Chain A
């Protein structure tokens, strides 16, 4: 398909762009296959380059022959374009509509994007399972890397290499896979070096209404327990929801069949509920009524903060079981691709200082989200302004980032990255020139030949000149487990994302710069003092022979 067919009017002059807290810009609007561009052709005015993929929805209005298109973006920005001429406006609107809802992955921008920088470190090669396994091997020999899923036939949403207990053979894995939703049999998610406890994740067991069981599944998870030890199964659903799942063939582990495990149910909402929550939250943030009651009641009704609290609490619980109770943990919900991953990845941030570095956090996202098969393509197809009928979109990843931000706020010195890093990940998960978040699973990414045809987000982010923006000046490695507070008083609204376009950030930006400056100046002085001290010491030793009597 040619993009040209979809572009009815490639260019309109005299278009006026309105953005909150910025001066209006008048200029020429151009549509390309992947971008909406507005250029004023004046030297000092910033141009607008907007990826079509970033457009969540559009609205058009007419006053006489002046048309207005309101563009609502997946990054929650809302901009307004005044377009002279009704026909032009209609053409532009329908072109944007068509270009922003392209269905085929291979038409997405990453397949057309050519980097203007030299790729020094290929992000596609950075976080391969073999490397992670080498680290594990240095700590324990209880685990092996299985190739049972090398052609993605045992579990289409799993990667080709999986870490499983050493004593469980591939045949047993296949049997366990047939007992778990989507073939997602229990695999290793995290090994807690301090006490050797582990966190595993899976999908729900397919017990159904007649209480099916699977010896291999039982054996598989029991293999992770030391003799005489017991573990916890954290089911991210309420017991009621888990019961209902039985009717559809799903279910949960019966105590009788898993006597060494204690099941705990939590109440993380399913993805369609989360999507609803996001829509309501963003609507509350954009409410212009200026009424305090309305704001607080809408914020409450959106349930967003409750979702943050529940997810964070569950992650803390998992971490607590591992670190404090010295027990191993298995986490699952229904499919094991959403709430399960929120919990396992957040628990690692709490437990493992490595995950709080930039590289470590990238590795965590690779491991626990991309390779673990979170369906990014489906979940991020639309964001808060979607008004069509909901499909499978849901802000699962955004909620995870929000929870990380909450921990970052509570431990501002313990993370190597800053808030901008999290916001950047949010943006790129929804629309990007890079392909990292394309597709729903490793299998799909392999099929799309992403690593050959496109550029990884990490290839760009990890360049020193980009990284600079994302470094937290206050960072000092903290090797402790960090336990966040999950009290409502302690959890804040993530203004950096949800109020980003509704307020001026000038003063907050200045504060951030001042903070960076204070630290930088201190380091500079330290260097100066140290080098002078060395010089003086040197002079002293040169002089000292004369001094000795």
Chain B
């Protein structure tokens, strides 16, 4: 609380993003965890809650005649603009928010103060929801060729790896230790995915410390053992996910990539994915494009092209596709690495897994995959997501790109995924929000060592929470038995197959999205169908009874579904559907005649119109754009 210079400011105006001419007047509160804006009119749904941990940056703009603008950019791509009447207030809010949004210690994060109404047992249970051991046994491990090595139980060989690691049974402990010494940060080759059908595997590691000529017998034996653990194949691929030039430059620093001459039967393959710095800048440009106010088509497309974002997504997808084809079609094992093996490697392994295994296209499967390839294998969430104040250069949207690859696949294979994009967006939000304890810290060891006690003692796990809300995330078109969900997905990687992810980047610009959602409609229909099935069974049972006995007494249960006129027919938000945009482009108001000064307020009175302001939103849903910055964890994603 000591960081809050100004807990409350009155007469603040919240600027509507869709039209800067519209503002909402209200009171701004700063709490230890949230910025809260309460619109005037005292109805509680006129509230905007923004979690401090979601704030990316706060910017003061030049004073305008109406006051001092304060712009807040959030990590979930929400942009909020307040206009504060007094300069000193604005400054105080700015200073307070700047500090509050940059916690210095893990203990300050929201997940340690977030306290939903559940008891201790339930909280502990939430951490047991996912079990990686069960995941490996689902894959068919351990088996006669692969087993868990105890070598990293104390995180002594590699402190960024998980405690339990699968290696070929044939490798001895000295080989593992030797190999780990020859790899950046000790990240020796270990199993990520095992394909039961043909025994091919995806293994992952960091780069070898080969320099220009160094060799390591144990490392060579390690790869040999991995290859041999796939009896059906005579060679294995080693995929370097860096651009070749970068990998070669690394040799000068004593690192680099495997020399095909030194390793038996490996084929080295470069698939160039750019580094975290390039990706950070690329996404920054993309965000700028997405936030342009009424851009022309040319500005938008040029901006999209110049951001290079879709080119990067395509390269990740191509790498994933290469690996999954090697495994599924050639039956060949693959070792993947980049530099440290926790960014590009994680992306590529998990994209390949989604392509290979239908399980990862289910809700639970995706959770497990993220828990395995990202959380347990030491993707540095706290650095990459900027959870704490620190090195800005460490921040990078690596996991965003993985989620986006999954989304791009959903666009090509609409029936192949059990979840909808809402699930991806929700996961994205929570990775950044620090609302739950899962994505805190940079490795399993850190999580255990440092604050194990407080994570499991105080924080909650996201996965159970998402699972309980799974109805919100279901894809009504999911057909597990359909051809597109059998075996390997083979996406097209033609450039036009990669699209701009509007639902993520313009998530809070409601006026940009379709006014009726096909999937929501279908979900409603499916739910209704389920009710009908139950009702039908009930009636059939009654008929049977009646037919048999011609009973004299009959208790009729009133049907619950009389006159069901398709619920889904109404636009999601009628008020929005009936709000024309600014079609005239630039002109202040369509009322061009002086004698017809009709303000937009007057429009509000028109029953059918309902300009997108507070009052006209349908109740039941949180109305303000920041629905999941959340006071209540259970309503956080509902309004999407």
Given contacts A489-B290, A533-B559, contact A522 B518 (CB under 8 A): no
Binds B, one of A5-13, A213-221, A512-520: A512-520
A396 CB to closest chain B CB, in angstroms? 19
Contact present for B593 and A493 (CB under 8 Å): no
Bound complex: CA A510 to CA B580 (Å): 35
Using Cβ atoms and an 8 Å threshold, which residues of chain B touch A410? 514-516
Question: CB within 8 Å of B: which of A277-294?
Answer: 285, 290-294
Interchain CB contact under 8 A, B492 and A503: yes
Cα-based distance from A507 to B564 in the complex (angstroms) = 32
In residues 243-267 of chain B, which contact A (Cβ within 8 Å)? none
B15-40 vs A, CB cutoff 8 Å, 1 = contact: the mask equals 00000000000000000000000000
Chain B positions 531 through 563: 1 when the CB is less than 8 Å from some CB of chain A, otherwise 0: 011011001101100100001111010010100
B482 close to A320 (CB less than 8 A): no
CB within 8 Å of B: which A503-542 residues: 503-504, 506-508, 510-511, 514-515, 518-519, 521-522, 525-526, 528-529, 532-533, 535-537, 539-540
Does A485 contact B581, Cβ atoms closer than 8 Å?
A: yes
A507 and B414 contact, Cβ closer than 8 Å, known pairs A536-B543, A539-B554: yes
Cβ contact within 8 Å between A533 and B539 = yes
Instruction: Write the nearest CB–CB distance from B502 to chain A, whole angstroms.
Output: 5
Q: Does B296 contact A (CB under 8 A)?
A: yes
What is the bound-complex CA distance between A303 and B301, given in angstroms? 10
- How far, in Å, is A265 (CB) from chain B's closest CB? 11
Does A478 touch B at the CB level, under 8 Å? yes
Residues of B within 8 A of A358 (CB): none
A468-488 interface mask toward B, CB cutoff 8 Å, 1 = contact, 0 = none? 000000101110111111111
Of B295, B301, B517, which one neighbours A296 at CB under 8 angstroms? B301
A515 touches B495 (CB 8 A): no
Choose one: B526, B529, B556; the contact of A536 (CB below 8 Å): B556
Q: Which chain B positions have C-beta within 8 A of A293?
A: 305, 308, 311
A489 touches B506 (CB 8 A): yes
| Residue B104, interface by CB 8 Å | no
In the complex, the answer to whether B590 meets A490 with C-beta atoms within 8 Å is no
1/0 per residue, CB under 8 A from B, across A398-435: the answer is 00000000000111111000000000000000000000
Residues 492-505 of A, flagged 1 when their CB comes within 8 A of B and 0 if not, give 11010001001110
For the complex, give the distance between the alpha carbons of A300 and B301 in Å.
6
Considering the complex, give the chain B residue whose CB is closest to the CB of A544. Answer: B554
Q: Tell whether, in the assembled complex, residue B300 and residue A480 are in contact, meaning their CB atoms are under 8 Å apart.
A: no
Whether, in the assembled complex, A2 has its beta carbon less than 8 Å from a beta carbon of chain B, the answer is no
- Find chain B residues with CB under 8 A from A495 CB: 496
Chain A's nearest CB lies how many Å from the CB of B600? 10
B568-A324 in contact (CB<8A):
no
Distance from A528 Cβ to chain B, minimum over Cβ atoms (Å): 6
Q: Is B476 an interface residue (CB 8 A)?
A: yes
Please tell me which one of the listed residues B300, B494, B495, B542 contacts residue A488 in the complex, with CB atoms under 8 A apart.
B300
Residue of A nearest to B292 (CB): A488
Are A547 and B518 in touch, CB under 8 angstroms? no
Segment at the B interface, from A92-100, A164-172, A174-182, A305-313: A305-313
Partner of B498, one of A292, A313, A492, A504: A292
B118 is an interface residue with CB less than 8 A from chain A: no
Complexed CA–CA distance, A545 and B592 (Å):
72
What class of interface size applies to chain B in its complex with A?
35 or more
The residues of A that contact B495 with a CB separation of less than 8 Å are: 290-292, 294-296
* Residues of B with C-beta under 8 A to A413: 516, 518, 521, 568-569, 571
Shortest Cβ distance from B304 into A: residue: A296
A488 near B297: Cβ-Cβ < 8 Å: yes
B479 cross-chain contacts in A, Cβ below 8 A: 510, 514
The answer to whether A296 touches B305 (Cβ under 8 A) is yes
Taking the closest CB of chain A, its distance from the CB of B582, in whole angstroms, is: 9
Closest to A307 in B: B297
| Beta-carbon contact of A490 and B305 below 8 Å | no
Asked if B528 CB lies within 8 Å of chain A CBs, one says yes
A543 at the interface (CB under 8 A from B): yes
Chain A residues with Cβ under 8 A from B513's Cβ? 485, 490
B302: chain A residues at CB < 8 Å are 297, 300
Whole-angstrom CA separation of A483 from B290 in the bound complex: 21
Q: Is the CB of B415 within 8 A of A514?
A: yes
- Cβ-based interface call for A37 (8 A): no
Write out the residue numbers on chain A whose beta carbons fall within 8 Å of the beta carbon of B492. Answer: 503-504
CA distance A230 to B590 in the complex (A): 13
Residues in chain A near residue B496, CB distance under 8 A:
285, 295, 299, 493, 495, 499, 502
Q: A293-B311, A409-B514, A474-B568 are in contact. Are A489 and B500 (CB under 8 A)?
A: yes
B566 to A476, Cβ gap below 8 A? yes
A547 to B556, CA, bound (A): 13
Determine if A317 and B584 form an interchain contact, defined as CB atoms under 8 angstroms apart: yes
* Chain A, range 306-362, C-beta contacts under 8 Å to B: 306, 308-309, 313-314, 316-317, 319-321, 323-325
CB <8 Å contact, B608 and A474: no
Q: Write the chain B residue with the least CB distance to A288.
A: B494
Residues of chain A at the chain B interface (Cβ within 8 Å) = 230, 232, 262, 264, 285, 290-297, 299-300, 303, 305-306, 308-309, 313-314, 316-317, 319-321, 323-325, 409-414, 474, 476-478, 480-493, 495, 499, 502-504, 506-508, 510-511, 514-515, 518-519, 521-522, 525-526, 528-529, 532-533, 535-537, 539-540, 543, 546-547
| Beyond known contacts A292-B495, A324-B609: 16 more, CB 8 A cutoff | A264-B584, A264-B592, A291-B495, A308-B297, A323-B580, A412-B516, A477-B569, A495-B496, A504-B492, A508-B414, A510-B415, A515-B518, A522-B529, A532-B539, A537-B556, A540-B556
* Sampled A-B contacts (28; CB under 8 Å): A292-B495, A293-B311, A296-B301, A296-B495, A297-B305, A306-B296, A309-B297, A316-B581, A317-B584, A411-B577, A474-B568, A476-B565, A476-B569, A480-B578, A482-B571, A486-B581, A486-B583, A488-B296, A507-B416, A510-B415, A511-B477, A514-B482, A515-B477, A522-B532, A525-B536, A526-B564, A532-B540, A547-B554
